[in-house]
Amino acid sequence: MSFRIVRQSKFRHVFGQPLKREQCYDNIRITKNSWDSNFCAVNPKFLAIITEIAGGGAFLVLPLQKTGRLDVSYPQVTGHKGPVMDIAWCPHNDYVIASSSDDTLVRVWQIPEDGLVCPMTDPVVELAGHQKKVGLVQWHPSASNVLLSAGADCRILIWNIGTSELLSEITHPDIVFDCCWSWNGSCLATTCKDKKVRIYNPHSGEVVQEAMGHEGAKPQRIHYLRSGMIFTTGFSKMSERQYSLRKENELANPLCLEELDVSNGVMVPFYDPDVNLLYLSAKGDSNIRYFEITDKAPYVHYINTYQSTTPQRGMGMMPKRGCDISRCEIARFFRLLSSGFCEVLSFTVPRKSDKFQDDLYPLTLADMPAISAEEWAEGKDAEPLLVCLKDGCVPTQKQKLKVTKKSNILDKMASKKGEASSEPTFVKPEKNLEDLINELKTLQATALQHEKRIKELENKVESSCHALSEHTQILNNYEDTIDLLVDEV
């Protein structure tokens, strides 16, 4: 007789459930670009989706509460001249988003607090450093205003958004498929078209480790785990989809290398560093696999699979700050479907108690940076700041953007004396909704005055015409009298 030993785990019964249709988003013109991007980015305030538009590139930014069917004329961010390839929300400011495009430019946008009321075409910062299309943008996990961009010109550029300065440049041997910061941002892991996995020192651009990744020629994805291990997805020589787990100092010897199935879609990992759960999905797939990662063999433990009847075009994952802890929700995904529908999936752990579950919600990433861009440029690294979700995560106030040269326009750091940062530095756009309403009222009052003046002029013209008609009649009578006198003579 054989006994099946079930591995003990608090996540054995995690299950995903889609929200009702009226709680999702519909009538969205999702991009038809074939680039291997998620096409979607989400934070506790907004949902951003790359859309299809003629004559350039655009993406949609929706407040999370604006669910249901979307108006086709809803304003979008339309500043790029080429198709948008990737978008990423700033982890330290929920109103700032970066986008990269086929037009070789990286742009950073500030979204108004209530969302867009008109199309946005002017970015806060424009970064021109690449010579070919830019397919990837990623924010530094702990440093303020540090943004990474990777382009088809085989270069990785690291920027200080506050001053538009280039902090570091890495020349890659071939086209970059994917890259990811380590937990504290001290290392950078990349996958490449030459099938190799590399670890760089982002400050100096030097290669720290290098090894062969997956043997297949198709794109590989990579993710740095909190423990320092590296998770990759790729393909075998026989086009079988694989995943592997490696130590950062022993890249050539994977701790595990497993085959999943045979399919064309590139597996994209979504990682939850709080509880070490990892979700795998792919464009064209209709399922989401999720695993638990531990520090003991076999390291990657399969939990379950969410299955659907409709394949996805892309997917975005909500930060833990945006999950509903009252329902024991540990993850929330936004699936883009080819029909123009964005489905919201909620992954929960069933619990009978309605109290705060400490084991499900350890300290999570806060929305404040640990160091400044200047400190990072000087070689300093720091782990991200963490926050407890027990009493709810209170977001920091919206900052005001003051675009001045050589200044840190997105700075939210506290002063060196330990004082809290002063009044937030984000400003509202030049004309917000209230200003537009006041301007509209002024225009209406002016129009009424002009309308009254026009009526007065019309009355004067009418009176003048009437007087002219009377004078003309008198003149005609005089002419008739003169004609009679002439006939008599």
pLDDT of residue 289 exceeding 60: yes
Least confident of 44-48, 174-178, 277-281, 448-452: 448-452
The answer on pLDDT for 233 being more than 70 is yes
Question: 5-48 pLDDT, tens per residue?
Answer: 457 788 888 989 999 999 999 999 999 988 889 999 999 999 99
Sign of the dihedral defined by the CA atoms of residues 195, 197, 200, 202, in that order: positive
Among the residues of 3-50, which ranges form H helices? none
Whether residue 459 has pLDDT greater than 90? no
What per-residue confidence (pLDDT) applies to 75?
A: 95
DSSP 3-state percent helix, strand, coil across the chain (nearest 5): 15, 35, 50
Find, among 267, 243, 268, the residue nearest to 257 by Cα: 243
Q: What is the identity of the amino acid at 64? A: L
Q: Report the alpha-carbon distance of residue 269 to residue 365 in Å, rounded.
A: 18
pLDDT of residue 415: 42
Spatial separation of the C-alpha atoms in residues 287 and 267, rounded to whole Å:
11
Q: Which residues of 222-242 are buried (b: 16+ CB within 10 A; e: fewer)?
A: bbbbbeebbbbbbbeeeebbb
Mean pLDDT of 75-103: 95
What is the tens place of the pLDDT at every residue in 311-324?
A: 999 999 999 999 99
- How far is Cα 364 from Cα 49, in angstroms, rounded to an integer? 25
The per-residue pLDDT for 404 is 47
Name, in order, each residue with C-beta under 8 angstroms of 117's C-beta and a sequence gap of 6 or more. 75, 433, 436
Among 26-35, 285-294, 412-421, 458-467, name the one with the lowest average pLDDT. Answer: 412-421
- Which of 104-118, 181-195, 363-377, 445-459 comes out lowest in average pLDDT? 445-459
pLDDT at 475: 76
pTM (global) more than 0.85: no
Instruction: Dump pLDDT digits (tens) for 337-386.
Output: 999 999 999 999 998 888 888 889 999 999 999 999 999 999 999 999 99
pLDDT above 70 for 393: no
pLDDT confidence tier of residue 2, bands split at 50, 70 and 90: very low
Q: What is the per-residue pLDDT across 300-309, written as a single tens digit (0 to 9) for each?
A: 999 999 999 9
Question: For residue 12, what pLDDT is reported?
Answer: 85
Strands 68-69 and 25-26: parallel
Structure confidence at residue 408 (pLDDT): 52
Nearest Cα neighbor of 256 from 266, 241, 245, 242 is: 245
Statement: residue 405 has pLDDT above 60: no
Name, in order, each residue with C-beta under 8 angstroms of 445's C-beta and a sequence gap of 6 or more.
none
Peptide linkage before 298 cis (omega within 30 of 0)? yes
For residue 417, pLDDT beyond 90: no
Q: What average pLDDT does range 478-482 have in this prediction?
A: 76
pLDDT value, residue 485: 77
pLDDT at 278 over 50: yes
Q: Output the pLDDT for position 397.
A: 54
Q: Which residue has the higher pLDDT, 184 or 54?
A: 184
Residue ranges of E strands in 213-355: 221-224, 230-235, 240-246, 256-262, 267-272, 277-282, 287-293, 300-307, 312-317, 329-337, 342-348
Question: Looking at the predicted structure, is the pLDDT value of residue 458 above 60?
Answer: yes
What are the residues whose beta carbons fall under 8 Å from the beta carbon of 343, sequence distance 6 or more?
18, 19, 24, 310, 334, 335, 337
